[in-house]
Structure 1
Amino acid sequence: MKPFAPGYTPVGTSRRDTLAFRFTALRERHGLSIKDMAERVGLSESAYRAIERGQTRMVKEAGTLARTAAQFGVSQVWLYAGVVAAGKRLAPPLVHRAA
């Protein structure tokens, strides 16, 4: 996994706690390309890109959330709904740029 650069803040401390952000953060944290991430979570590359671009606010199949959560050791609740729903206890130590 890549270390985070200075100037990052914990997930949930800004309005950027979105489905798109969470999927992108997991992919980047593990150093995966979009193609590799799509394969690992069982989606086509175009379907995965739509998630990262924020073109979809919902994953069509629950299995996608389950596979992604299992692959990366995160809570399905956090992955789908973020820190507010999952609580900080279930949120992984992902970080992002401060707004």
Structure 2
Amino acid sequence: MGSTYHTKRKYYITHLNTKDKHKYKHPTVKPVSIINNFIINSSQEGDVVLDPFMGSGSTGEAALRLDRDFIGIELNEEYFSIAHERLNNFIY
């Protein structure tokens, strides 16, 4: 999947992501669809995506879906556990 007109649009207002907030128990979880566009427009397949504030792992999920490698860092053990489980479920 490459960069296209549809991945370059601007987001002024996004929907309230209450489903993912509840599912991943994080107050600022980002929609993977938006993160997908950031990754598509700033990297290529096989690149490494670094998220130093991983939270619930939205960026990691998007990176893996788009055939990128991923490194995530999270200080909060609860959020790290949530992200770890989320990404393991995606990988396996």
The TM tier, using the shorter chain, reads: under 0.3
* Structure with bigger RCO (C-alpha 8 Å, 6+ apart): 1
TM-score of the two chains, using structure 1 as the length reference: 0.26
TM-score of the two chains, using structure 2 as the length reference: 0.27
